[in-house]
Structure 1
Amino acid sequence: METYDTLLPPITPANRRTRPILNPATGGEVGLAPVHDIADLDRAVVTAALVQPAWAALSHQTRSEVLLKAADAIERSSEALARLLSQEQGKPLNGPNARFEVASCATWLRAAATTPLDPEVVVDDGQTRAELHYRPIGVVGAIGPWNWPMLITIWQIGPALRMGNAVVVKPSEYTPLSVLALINVINQELPDGLLTVISGGRDVGARMAEHPAIGKIMFTGSTATGKAIIRSSADTVKRLTLELGGNDAGIVLPDADPKAIAQGLFWGAFINAGQTCAALKRLYVHEDIYDAVCEELTKVAAAMPMGPGLDENNVLGPLQNRAQFDIVDRLVKAAKESGARILLGGNPDYDQPGNFYPTTLVADIDNDNPLVVEEQFGPALPIIKYSTVDEAVAKANGLDVGLGASVWSSDLATARKVASRLEAGTVWINSHGMVNPMIPFGGSKQSGYGLEFGVEGLKALGIPQVING
């Protein structure tokens, strides 16, 4: 069986600094990551700018054919990539986790490669013909997170490459190996220098945001970092796509069936142990069915095994890093101290190896509690009781973020009416967080701006040009 060691690019030169990457489930070493610096970034950008015009000169069809071969390469190495991802990020192999993420990389890359984007005839009245085209930007900088490191990298680089750009990728310092291996596999099919990974620190990310030869930044991460990128990119008037923090609300209407929705609620909140930007992080339940929803959700959550990712039986893993563990722990403690009721979990074993925080459900909690107001980004869900739909909508809309939201109901028409009142980039009905490569995705308010996926995602990686005449 292929091992992930064979997928990682060699660390050169011989005197290159490295740092160990640790398994968040065991604390053991996964591998060594190179420590790149700003000089490495500058060299990568120069190379990317040199090779990009030849790539852009190819037809959409030719570029698509190359990307389809790259998707095939991902599939050939899928098991080794998944095992590396599981050990570095912590997510289990099975369930909506490591194997799922790697398979989705191939799916999303194929979607970016094959989605048509033809010139749009804007006016053709016999006297004037105006067509809208999209030209390559040049060099795109992609800055990714640690929660879905491979898949979000594909979300960034797939449409960028398809549209004729070169890409320089900066992965999270917590999960560089997964991205290094993924890009090494993809580069089996791409021209040299077109797609590069720079495994550096925050200084590298800051330089990318201000770099005069980078025409666009794609960033997924915290709102605070997104704001810093906006400021740093201002002098070069960079194009930006920012998918920032969220604190997604779900509203369960009184006609919902608690037993029927419990599984969907669980995975909406606890996919990747809650470490997902568009996960369900605040659940508002009508008082008529509040106790029943709490009971059914607790049954589902209690049956989900948590442990090291390479154990085929587990579907929940650790928090990826100790800093995130501490955030979740602090917020749950604050909820306990306020008098909230712990339905499940809330009792981590601080002496065990790894960053495991137990699946935690918190009921009878005030809407202004820190666990509700702050994004926990972990396996702890506050459940808030409400009396009227107007009250629930007001509370759901009460924060300055709006990435996603959901409405749960047995009446689709009623659910859609409530959904239209929520301030979020995507509102799901009877599910939460499900994304599709053909459905545009992006946030509102301080959850960022710009769209990814589908035709709109391709357009975001091009410069619009009108040919008039």
Structure 2
Amino acid sequence: MNQPLLETSALTMASGRAIHDPATGDLIGHAPEHTVADLDAAVAVATAVQPAWEAAGHGERSRLLKAAADAIDEQAETLAHLLSRETGKPLNGPNARLEVAQSSAWLRATAEFDTPGEVLVDDGQAYATLAYEAVGVVGAIGPWNWPLMITIWQIAPSLRMGNTVVVKPSEYSPLSVLALGEILNSVLPEGVLQVVSGGREVGARISEHEDIAKVMFTGSTRTGKAIAAAGAANLKRLTLELGGNDAAIVLDDCDPEVIAEDLFWGAFINTGQTCAAIKRIYVADNIHDEVAEALAAIARDVPMGPGLDENNVLGPLQNRQQYDIVTRLVDAAREGGARILVGGDPAEGPGNFYPATIVADIAPDNPLVVEEQFGPALPIIRYSDLDQAVAWANGLDVGLGASVWSADRDRALEVAKRVKAGTVWINSHAVPDPRIPFGGIKQSGYGLEFGAEGLKSVAVPKVYNG
């Protein structure tokens, strides 16, 4: 394994924010508690170096993004171990090693996208083009569940388009992002990317800072609304990827054994701590019991435990607050008369472990269905009327992702057209692709990430006429 990251900084600091392993409770290290003054200083540097970074051009910026991807790969195993310890996610499965690998892959993909822009009119009399130019300084506020990958989703397009970036990681998982910043800054010009590790007051300052032209935020709807309100004073541009409670609709022609594995991981990726994971499944009455039991069988056998154990693919919840939310919602399902097929009874011991839980025959208005659990507890709602299932799926005030499952793709697409969500997958769920735009509707936020549309979202359109 490569030399440990942050060995002489955050991991060995004697003061700062203590970061504990959610699987064991062991102290990992201390994250610096940067202040609003530190944030202001970082923005001043980012503002000063931004013109030169933009002037470097797309070719040079793309080259450096690829070099940054190579730097991540060189430290991949060390970074995955730090990520596992800080978030609890296992090394294997759709977890820590995957997140690190996708981070470097995303940088390379973003470096290869065509520069957005087009000729609008060229008729011999008039000539006009549309270009996309840098916004300036981007403030990136990240979550604790996928700290590396989502930070890359924010900074890769921003840097590619000539912006400088100031990153504020979650207070729960700052060490991984600080390490990522060290790696990237071994390649990038000084001041182009800075990581400011602090509390909520630092995030609030990013939202209102007059020299930050764009904010990218992934997190709760409540915080997203606060960011939008704070940025209104200077009409700050925003990309908000907020809460989701993704629905999956399983049609009556599905083979439960064929779809069960993909359904399970669509829900339980990162132990359910994924914004766009399946949070509720509506299953046709004729196959409800078979689907529920197939999912329960997987849940009974899937290995859960500390992330550094190579055998595990599910880990603990990252923080105790989220553990308490999952506990409350499963208890509400039990009290409402639902059947707990597996799980629902966490064992005593260290760590924030909540067992993989499958809940069947649950009322469509039970709290476990209508509130986002963000953890390893999956409600399965029986339906006999497809129109009713679609209405239930659309009945909440969020619309990040959704999926429709059927043996007949055309039939699934017809149902998908009726589902109100930013992305509707067919016979899969929560499969991001750097080429395919992603974003929510309703109170799941606004703005697109990924692909050419993602590049446009961190730029300002400019028309050249004549």
The TM tier, using the shorter chain, reads over 0.9
Q: What are the ranges of 5 or more consecutive residues in structure 1 without an aligned counterpart?
A: none
In structure 2, the residue matched to 1:352 is 349
Cα distance in structure 2, aligned partners of 1:279 and 1:111: 23
**What TM-score comes out, normalization by structure 2 length?**
0.98
* CA positional deviation for 1:335: 0.7
Q: 1:3 to 1:27 in 2, by over 3 A?
A: farther
In structure 2, the residue matched to 1:291 is 289
Are 1:9 and 1:180, in contact at CA under 8 Å, matched by a contact in 2?
no
Matched, 1:414 2:408: no
Cα distance in structure 1, aligned partners of 2:434 and 2:248: 23
Are 1:38 and 1:207, in contact at CA under 8 Å, matched by a contact in 2?
yes
In structure 2, the residue matched to 1:363 is 360
Cα distance in structure 1, aligned partners of 2:116 and 2:208: 32
Cα distance in structure 1, aligned partners of 2:126 and 2:383: 58
Q: Pick from 263, 275, 287 the counterpart of residue 277 of structure 1.
A: 275
Matched, 1:464 2:464: no
* Aligned length in residues: 466
In structure 2, the residue matched to 1:189 is 187
RMSD, aligned α-carbons: 1.3
Q: Pick from 374, 379, 394 the counterpart of residue 376 of structure 2.
A: 379
Are 1:9 and 1:184, in contact at CA under 8 Å, matched by a contact in 2?
no
Q: Secondary structure at the match of 2:286?
A: coil
Cα distance in structure 1, aligned partners of 2:169 and 2:152: 12
Cα distance in structure 2, aligned partners of 1:234 and 1:216: 12
**CA deviation vs aligned residue, 1:305-361 (integer Å, no higher than 9, x gap):** 000000000000000000000000000001101111000100002x31000000000
Q: Secondary structure at the match of 1:428?
A: strand
Letter in 1 for 2:394: N
In structure 2, the residue matched to 1:10 is 9
Matches within 5 A, 1:298-377: 298-349=296-347, 351-377=348-374
Cα distance in structure 2, aligned partners of 1:365 and 1:275: 21
Q: Secondary structure at the match of 1:196?
A: strand
Q: Pick from 218, 221, 242 the counterpart of residue 220 of structure 1.
A: 218
Letter in 1 for 2:75: S
Are 2:141 and 2:167, in contact at CA under 8 Å, matched by a contact in 1?
yes
Are 2:13 and 2:29, in contact at CA under 8 Å, matched by a contact in 1?
no
Cα distance in structure 2, aligned partners of 1:435 and 1:20: 32
Cα distance in structure 2, aligned partners of 1:106 and 1:148: 14
In structure 2, the residue matched to 1:424 is 421
Letter in 1 for 2:302: M
* CA positional deviation for 1:8: 5.8
Cα distance in structure 2, aligned partners of 1:172 and 1:394: 35
Q: Secondary structure at the match of 1:406?
A: strand
* CA positional deviation for 1:119: 2.8
Letter in 2 for 1:2: N
Q: Secondary structure at the match of 2:86?
A: helix
Cα distance in structure 2, aligned partners of 1:154 and 1:228: 23
In structure 2, the residue matched to 1:391 is 388
In structure 2, the residue matched to 1:253 is 251
Matches within 5 A, 1:223-242: 223-242=221-240
Q: Secondary structure at the match of 2:158?
A: helix
**What TM-score comes out, normalization by structure 1 length?**
0.98
In structure 2, the residue matched to 1:119 is 117
In structure 1, the residue matched to 2:135 is 137
* CA positional deviation for 1:118: 4.3
Are 1:8 and 1:177, in contact at CA under 8 Å, matched by a contact in 2?
no
Are 1:7 and 1:185, in contact at CA under 8 Å, matched by a contact in 2?
no
Q: 1:385 to 1:11 in 2, by over 3 A?
A: closer
Identity, in percent, stands at 65
